[in-house]
Amino acid sequence: MVDARVGPKGSLEQLSQQEIERLADSSQGGLYPLFRKCALAVLNSGGDVDDSRRIFEKYRDFDLRIVRQPWGIKLEIKNAPASAFVDGEMIKGLKEHLFAVLRDVVFISTEIMEGGRFDLKSSSSITNAVFHILRNARVLELQMRPNLVVCWGGHSIGRVEYDYTKKVGYELGLRGLDVCTGCGPGAMKGPMKGAAIGHSKQRIVNGRYLGVTEPGIIAAEPPNPIVSQLVIMPDIEKRLEAFVRLAHGIVIFPGGAGTAEEILYLLGILLDPANQDLPLPVVFTGPADSIEYFQQIHRFVGATLGAAAQMRYKIIIDDAPGVARELVQGLKLIRDYRRAKSDSYSYNWLLRIPLEFQLPFEVSHESMRALRLSHDRPIHQRAADLRRAFSGIVAGNVKEYGVSAIERHGPFELTGDPSIMEPLDELLRSFVAQRRMKLAGAEYVPCYRLVA
């Protein structure tokens, strides 16, 4: 472990006295616990543990405080992970991420949650809040052309699948496309790594590798070292909205419960009649060994959401150039559509996101048991509750509060119609059998129980 004092790199060189006091406050309403957790996650980049409590226990003596100087601020850090330093100097990329955390924690607290400007129970106001967070992070580029591909997939995929994500990223990079992921390891790192090589070959020096995360999962999936721009969103729902409003195309690699949550969120939105004509290329892809995974996902989507949902994506197996060409074709449609509608290239205002997909879902045994997984419900509400079910499973797998709740009260219970519960059971069993719930080598104990 290392002690250090570091100056700002990339953002937020100045803080008000009130902001410093809030960041130093370790009480219930103070920002110190949140800032400390996210800062430690950033400095632990590259770790091979996805149990946030083990990480916090290992570095329980980690501490940081803000030192105010006439010309700005510095962070005084004690007992930080040694891997964040080279010859006593903090790695520049990690320093940028550290101050990105500081920037977002302060802005979200003072301007979004407590500033009184945003009604976070209103759909349009939530969308506006997401926009302001991204703009403050300087990731919305005015002159950009549609070229940002969002890549989703598991953090605990195997080597063959990881290598394939790099191949896809490489093909995207060769075509001048930028990459946005959840910023963690596995399928979130591979496309960025491949794109960086593709950009280098094409002598593209301003390629973007955008990572979007949230406090509940950042410790279990710390930002990978390829991320050039890091954004911390307040919760999983605003993180998902940021993804789909930033995206000009979406590629989905094999994953587990978190990837299933993202798929259900996306399909639930695209099935809204208001989004029927809105172009957004969506590709499910993996190496030849992953064909069974996508067959299972495809069957599950058909059984729970129907054929209309299956029509909103294309499955391409073991063809990285084909994936990139599909995205390039789709981006042309997006450019023409947004130009015709006078919509922004950098933030998709035209996409309608129902409030059910925007309000934070507070995971608990009671809220999980209350989900209504039934075909009797309208399709968008069914998709919303299925998304919440997987969000709860993710919380029980890797989020600190979810793991603690499981230890105290046992597995979450999910109930519903057999016509939904049976394909859900089949899908989850396949995730467990294929070791898609935790990092390789870790024994998985289910955090859920299905009750018909």
Q: How many helices (H) and strands (E) does the chain have?
A: 16, 14
pTM for the whole structure: 0.90
439, 50 contact by CB (below 8 A): yes
Q: Is 43 inside any structural domain?
A: yes
Q: What is the layout of strands, in order, in the sheet containing 72-80?
A: 2-6, 72-80, 63-69
Q: Are residues 47 and 163 in the same domain?
A: no
Q: Are residues 292 and 399 in the same domain?
A: yes
Domain count, the chain: 2
Q: Are residues 96 and 157 in the same domain?
A: no
Q: Is 128 inside any structural domain?
A: no
Q: Is 387 inside any structural domain?
A: yes
| DSSP symbol at 342 | T
Q: Are residues 191 and 295 in the same domain?
A: yes
Q: Are residues 167 and 87 in the same domain?
A: no
Q: Are residues 318 and 389 in the same domain?
A: yes
Domain of residue 76, CATH code: 3.30.1850.10
Q: Is 192 inside any structural domain?
A: yes
Q: Is 433 inside any structural domain?
A: yes
Name which of 314, 296, 215 is nearest 260 in CA terms. 296
Model pLDDT for residues 110-123, shown as the tens digit of each residue: 889 887 889 999 99
Q: Are residues 272 and 372 in the same domain?
A: yes
Q: Are residues 236 and 350 in the same domain?
A: yes
Q: Are residues 35 and 161 in the same domain?
A: no
Q: Is 108 inside any structural domain?
A: no
Ordered per-residue pLDDT tens for the chain, 452 residues: 667 777 766 555 567 777 777 777 777 667 888 888 888 888 888 666 666 677 778 888 888 887 776 656 778 888 888 888 898 888 888 888 988 988 898 899 888 988 788 999 999 999 999 999 999 999 997 667 899 999 999 988 889 999 999 999 999 999 999 999 999 889 999 999 999 999 999 999 999 999 999 988 887 788 888 999 999 999 999 999 999 999 999 999 999 888 999 999 999 999 998 998 899 999 999 999 999 999 999 999 999 999 999 999 999 999 999 999 999 999 999 999 999 999 899 999 999 999 999 999 999 999 999 998 999 888 888 999 999 999 999 888 878 888 889 999 999 999 999 999 999 999 998 988 888 876 555 677 888 888 86
Q: Are residues 99 and 145 in the same domain?
A: no
Range of the domain at 90: 2-103
Tokens 């933030």 correspond to 347
> Which pLDDT score is estimated for 49?
61
Name which of 54, 96, 91, 98 is nearest 76 in CA terms. 98
136, 326 contact by CB (below 8 A): no
> Which pLDDT score is estimated for 143?
64
Q: Is 426 inside any structural domain?
A: yes
384, 357 contact by CB (below 8 A): yes
Q: Is 124 inside any structural domain?
A: no
Q: Are residues 296 and 406 in the same domain?
A: yes
112, 132 contact by CB (below 8 A): yes
Q: Are residues 280 and 180 in the same domain?
A: yes
Domain of residue 212, CATH code: 3.40.50.450
